Amino acid sequence: MKEKVLHRKGTGGLMLVLTIVIYVLAFAAIILGIAFGPLPVFAGIVVCCVAWILFLGLKVVGPQEALVLTLFGKYYGTIKENGFYFVNPFCVAVNPAAETKLNQSGDVDSESKKRLFVASAENAAAMKSVPVNKKVSLKIMTLNNSRQKINDCLGNPVEIGIAVIWRVTDTAKAVFDVDNYKEFLSLQCDSALRNIVRLYPYDVAPNVDTTGDGIADEGSLRGSSEVVANRIKEEIQSKVDIAGIEVIEARITYLAYAPEIAAVMLQRQQASAIIDARKMIVDGAVGMVEMALERLNENDVVELDEERKAAMVSNLLVVLCGNHDAQPVVNSGSLY
């Protein structure tokens, strides 16, 4: 469906004045008909009964709003500029997603979009229905879908959530080419998220190809969030072009291991951190021992045979690599 934009700005005010003039003339005809005969009265009454139809053609469109109109089941056009318009009174506004509420900006509970329960002294359970706003919002909106549990490329379940910033660019496609463009977008976001996340590990893992070029890389959900978000955006955009929607940006808002393996993965991360720390401590201790032996030899402080060097190295490593402070032992005699 190709969008057809209507440019009739300013016609609403002119038609409103014209309709009021018609009613004034009709009332004048009725009043004059009382004195001159029944024909003017009849004509005035007929005009009053029919002229109200013109009011149905008056449409008010606010900033960043669009009104998609159909005439007897055929697409009539779209009003996208704010202003006061007059269109064919028999045109009907169409927006199948008007009552759809998602977890996103713009979809808030409004008293004008739901049934109201009015409590009063005469009728405490009175209920009235207010018409639904059929205008299509052209504003930039943020969709925040619920978190999903998805297995990464290593099979580990992770929970991830995204926020998608989007807007409607083609109202005809959004209204007529899909059943409900909001639900369509939400479904495509979930599908694209699942398709992309399963290509990456949660953390950097060896021998994993995340780009599809056959070469292992260091891509991960935690370390390459910008790259992952861009791929999710491109995946969503390729799916929602048919609905006339533009995806401006996608961002990862939540990322964590699933609760059933979170404790195990935390222990794994702690063990990895401990190993890295111990490795650094050992490297530093060995360097200090080498430096101590070199300084002793250079200054001829003491001559050590191989056995005494081995004992000294052992003692220094125990002191430098131990978790607790060393307890000194004073030896007042010979080592032998």
Mean pLDDT of 213-221: 83
CA distance 133 to 226: 37
Question: Which two tokens mark 30?
Answer: 């009725």
**pLDDT of 265:** 67
**pLDDT of 105:** 65
15 contacts 51 by C-beta, under 8 angstroms: no
Residue in this structure with the two tokens 């083609």, named with its chain if needed: 170
Neighbour count for residue 265 (Cβ, 10 Å): 16
pTM for the complete prediction?
0.70
Give the distance, in angstroms, between the CA of residue 116 and the centroid of all CA atoms in the same chain: 30
Mean pLDDT of 301-327: 70
Pairing state between β 83-86 and 58-61: antiparallel
Mean pLDDT of 260-288: 76
For the cut 50, the answer to whether the pLDDT of residue 123 exceeds it is no
CA distance 105 to 98: 14
Listed in order, strand segments (DSSP E) in 54-202 are: 58-61, 65-71, 74-79, 83-86, 91-93, 116-118, 126-128, 136-137, 141-144, 148-151, 157-168
**pLDDT of 167:** 94
For the cut 80, the answer to whether the pLDDT of residue 135 exceeds it is yes
Q: What are 8-19's pLDDT values in tens digits? A: 777 888 888 888
Lowest mean pLDDT among 94-103, 142-151, 188-197, 288-297: 288-297
Q: Which domains, from first to last, does the chain contain?
A: 11-98 (no CATH), 140-257 (3.30.479.30), 265-321 (no CATH)
221 contacts 197 by C-beta, under 8 angstroms: yes
Mean pLDDT of 118-129: 40
130 contacts 144 by C-beta, under 8 angstroms: no
193 contacts 162 by C-beta, under 8 angstroms: yes
Q: What are 13-68's pLDDT values in tens digits? A: 888 888 888 888 888 888 877 777 778 788 888 888 888 888 888 888 889 999 99
Mean pLDDT of 176-197: 92
Q: Which helix (H) or strand (E) holds 7?
A: none
Task: From 280, 318, 313, 281, select the one nearest 296 (Cα to Cα).
Answer: 313
Task: From 67, 90, 64, 98, select the one nearest 4 (Cα to Cα).
Answer: 67
Could you report how far apart the first and last alpha carbons of the chain are, in Å?
99
Calculate the average pLDDT of the chain: 80
Lowest mean pLDDT among 36-45, 184-193, 197-206, 252-261: 36-45
For the cut 80, the answer to whether the pLDDT of residue 274 exceeds it is no
**pLDDT of 261:** 74
Residue in this structure with the two tokens 């794994």, named with its chain if needed: 268
Nearby residues of 34 by Cβ (< 8 Å), 6 or more positions away: 41
**pLDDT of 128:** 43
